[in-house]
Amino acid sequence: MVSVAGSEEDGDRRNVSDVVGVLVLGACAAWSLITAAAHDGRPEGVLLALLAVAAGYATGRISGALLPVAAPCAAALAGVGLTVGLPRLTPGPEIVGPLGHAGATAALLTLAAGAACCAAWTTPSPALRLLLRLLAVGIAVTSVVLGSLSGLVTCTAVLLCSLAAGGMRHRGPGIAGLALAATTVTGLTWAVAGNAVPDGLAESLRGRLTPHRIDLWHDALHLARADTALGVGPGRFGELSTTAAQSLPPDGKPHSAPLQMAAEQGLIGVLLLAAAFCWLLYALWRSPRPTPVVLTAGAALTSLAAIAAVGNALSFTMVSVGAGFLAGLTTAHPLTEAPAPE
């Protein structure tokens, strides 16, 4: 039985993380409006993404409290279903690789695998736990069928991290490791954009990432340097980037969330994006859920951050909703205490 003092402590921790989340998301929304007003930008995309994350988070908190096992199961199956139907569910022209829906496909599958693994750690039934882990393996196989190599890599990474999390008693080192991983990928992306990597590595990355994507990153970094404080304004990268204008069909994105924020909203925009990710990790660290559940969700969200650093996954509303939903699920306090996994 949980003591009254323990319940009050859990409530205080959730209140603190919730207040931090409101402040961070509110600051992100306010800054997008400020930069849009300064440069006649279009902040609708940023505001929609923030609303999607907030709505997903709130829904996840409610669902995780009421249905701690069924909700992540349903989320995993919904993620796979949306991924398979993505070309029909996404408005606009069909865009194939290298700059098309590959990022969204990998992101949704990664979040689905994370949800399945979280459900596996939540259920007290060994048979159901095995079935849910097989579902996560099936999601990774689905990424191969859909031709998403990045999805296979990230789904496998989430599954392995989830299994390793079962042997960890303290979540702090795991959360710190996830933050370091996200920082490393973002730093590498920035280094490639600034031609600050060795020639051999640069050529290898150029072949994998495609020259067109790297040219977009060069343009984004150039625009960021032109106005470090405010950027060029939300939604204006496509207007000012020569490479983006030559894309067929043009989508106006630099295909890197940190570089897009740097180009369109300046250094403060980048710091706010980093703060939003840190808030998610902080909320997981303060979560009352078991450590394996927390670290599994953290691995999925960190994989999403890596995908977003080299692609346009966050341009898809369903990805933002899914990220918020998974975070909400794993920070919710179930109304009924489930037995600890065997």
Instruction: Tell me 134's DSSP state.
Output: H
Q: Which residues of 28-67 are buried (b: 16+ CB within 10 A; e: fewer)?
A: bbebbebbbeebebbbebbbebbbbbbbbbebbbebbbeb
pLDDT digits (tens, 9 = 90+) for 160-210: 999 999 989 899 999 999 999 999 999 999 999 998 888 888 888 888 888
pLDDT digits (tens, 9 = 90+) for 32-89: 999 999 988 999 999 999 999 999 999 999 999 999 999 999 999 999 998 887 654 4
pLDDT digits (tens, 9 = 90+) for 138-160: 999 999 998 888 999 999 999 99
Where are the chain's structural domains?
7-89+98-329
Residues near 125 by beta carbon (within 8 Å), at least 6 away in sequence: none
**Banded model confidence at residue 98, pLDDT cuts 50, 70, 90:** very low
Position 25 scores a pLDDT of 96
Q: Calculate what percentage of the chain has a pLDDT beyond 90.
A: 68
Q: How far is 249 from 267, CA to CA, in rounded Å?
A: 29
Q: How far is 231 from 238, CA to CA, in rounded Å?
A: 13
Extract the tokens encoding 295.
């670290």
Q: How far is 46 from 39, CA to CA, in rounded Å?
A: 15
Q: Which residues of 145-164 are buried (b: 16+ CB within 10 A; e: fewer)?
A: ebebebbbbbbbbbbebbbe
